[in-house]
Amino acid sequence: MSAALFNPRFQGARCVSCRREWMPNDIPFTCPDCGSLLGTIDFIYDFQKSKPRPPATILHRDLWDWKDFLPIEPPESVRLLRVGATPLISADTLASDIGVRRVWLKDDRLNPSGSLKDRASIVALAHAIGINAQIIAAASTGNAASSLATLAASCGMPTVLFVPETAPEAKLAQLLLHGARVIRIKGAYDDAFELCAKVCQKHGWYSRNTATNPFLTEGKKTVILESVHQIGEAPDVVFVPVGDGCILGAVHKGLCDLQAAGLIERMPRLIGVQAQGAAPLVNAREGTLPVQTENIETFADSIRVGLPRDQVKALRAVKETGGAWIAVSDDAIRRAMILLAQKSGIFAEPAGAAAMAGLIEARQKELVREEESALVLVTGHGLKDVKGAMSAAPLAPDAVEPTIEAVEKVIDF
């Protein structure tokens, strides 16, 4: 990678396990000594030598408004679609119903492909273009794949995507329509991940695989940079849906960077929310890495992960912020989908509503106090999983004859 692409504040990288460090020109995707699972990498910045812009100067054009906090400069080709600068909604009715002082919803459904994963994909594409990669590939349950297909199409980058056979049809439609080559694996997400990694290594393709590509964390962390700026301060608690753990680790990284830059003083507590049927990190015990759960099952496909690929960063995020882990049932996620839709107008996919289910559960368990404020990440659009949405819908359509009298029979005026 050409050094000309680097942000001058970007100093290099460090392994999360053994603490080995690399200079910017020599960074591997994962630590060769600790392996791809435990050897994920943190990027290091010097915010003291060259101060980043204060939040008041951010223009809200896209996530590259935060380029002072990102490792590379964006080529113009990756700005064809707007990624980031998504709305923050003050959900006062929800706050009152749940019993907390404030609730903010970060609505990342409004990214180009309908999910937060666009933040990671755009930075990965900027890097891939910068090093003259010819093909980019990824394994995904659906959102990362549809994100990469969407954004790579806008840049003209050939894409190969590995998805499990359970990937929802709506997400597959996005991949195929954008011209990606789709490999549907007869197996689970973890099988797709391993196969994608092997093919990328053999053929020299650029890998957008979650956790193992450290540029993805840097893109995802912009969700918290924006949120804190939009709120005007750090919230008390942040709720994050967790599959591989990448978004949770990225939120922590963003908060640490804001703190290092002197833009926040207080670190929020981070709450990782998993589905009960796919909760390896909730069930983790100190000193038992790596964490894996067999026979996972949840209708929230985006967090249906048995072997979390960013588990070290995710577990660290909760521990270092004094946060907590919560497992929510599929029924609780369905209720959260209804609550978001009916009280805030937000149509979220199951995984996108899991964080709201976590807030409700946390308040019931008094992990969040009445006087506190909570930020909830809504990570994906409900149209990505129509089958899942229909399973949550509280009412079925009324079939009637085309007469006023027929309508009056079924509507209670």
State the pLDDT at residue 1: 40
From the list 45, 3, 10, the residue with the least C-alpha distance to 25 is 3
Is there a contact between 70 and 9 (Cβ–Cβ < 8 Å)?
Answer: no
Q: Mean pLDDT of all residues in the chain? A: 91
Higher pLDDT, residue 314 or 57 = 314
Distance spanning both ends of the chain, measured CA to CA: 66
User: For the chain, how many residues are written?
Assistant: 413
State the pLDDT at residue 396: 77
Cβ-in-10-Å burial (0-12, 13-18, 19+) of 2 comes to exposed
State the pLDDT at residue 293: 87
Residue 296 CB partners (closer than 8 Å, separation 6+): 188, 277, 278, 280, 304, 305, 306
Per-residue pLDDT reduced to its tens digit, 286-295: 667 888 888 8
> How far apart are the C-alpha atoms of 61 and 53, rounded to whole Å?
15
Strand partners, 103: 374
State the pLDDT at residue 287: 62
> How far apart are the C-alpha atoms of 125 and 174, rounded to whole Å?
18
Q: What is the DSSP letter of 139?
A: E
Q: What is the DSSP letter of 9?
A: T
> How far apart are the C-alpha atoms of 36 and 62, rounded to whole Å?
31
Per-residue pLDDT reduced to its tens digit, 6-50: 888 999 999 999 999 999 988 999 999 999 899 999 999 999 877
Tell me which amino acid residue 295 is: N
**What is this structure's pTM?**
0.93
φ, ψ (nearest 5 deg) of residue 160: -120, 130
Tokens found for residue 220: 């995802």
Q: How far is CA 87 from CA 90, 146, 267, in A?
A: 10, 21, 22
State the pLDDT at residue 301: 86
Pairing mode of beta strands 21-22, 88-90: unpaired
Binned at pLDDT 50, 70 and 90, residue 3 comes out as: very low
φ, ψ (nearest 5 deg) of residue 275: -75, 145
Segment holding 182, helix H or strand E:
strand 181-185
Residue 72 CB partners (closer than 8 Å, separation 6+): 1, 5, 6, 7, 10, 123, 126, 127, 130, 215
> Is it the case that residue 79 has pLDDT exceeding 90?
no
- The three-state secondary structure class of 333 is helix
DSSP string, 121-140: HHHHHHHHHHTT-S-EEEE-
CATH numbers and ranges of domains, the chain? 88-114+216-392 (3.40.50.1100)
Q: What is the DSSP letter of 83?
A: -
> Is it the case that residue 307 has pLDDT exceeding 80?
yes
State the pLDDT at residue 58: 63
Q: How far is CA 354 from CA 92, 147, 175, 299, in A?
A: 19, 20, 24, 11
Tokens found for residue 242: 């967790």
Tokens found for residue 28: 């591997």
Give the per-residue SS3 of 199-263: HHHHHCCEECCCCCCHHHHHHHCHHHHHHHHHHCCCCCEEEEECCCCHHHHHHHHHHHHHHHCCC
Least confident of 250-259, 282-291, 312-321: 282-291
Rounded average pLDDT over 230-243: 96
> Is it the case that residue 330 has pLDDT exceeding 70?
yes
Binned at pLDDT 50, 70 and 90, residue 2 comes out as: very low
Higher pLDDT, residue 169 or 274 = 274
Tell me which amino acid residue 288 is: T
- The three-state secondary structure class of 381 is strand
State the pLDDT at residue 136: 96
> Is it the case that residue 311 has pLDDT exceeding 90?
yes
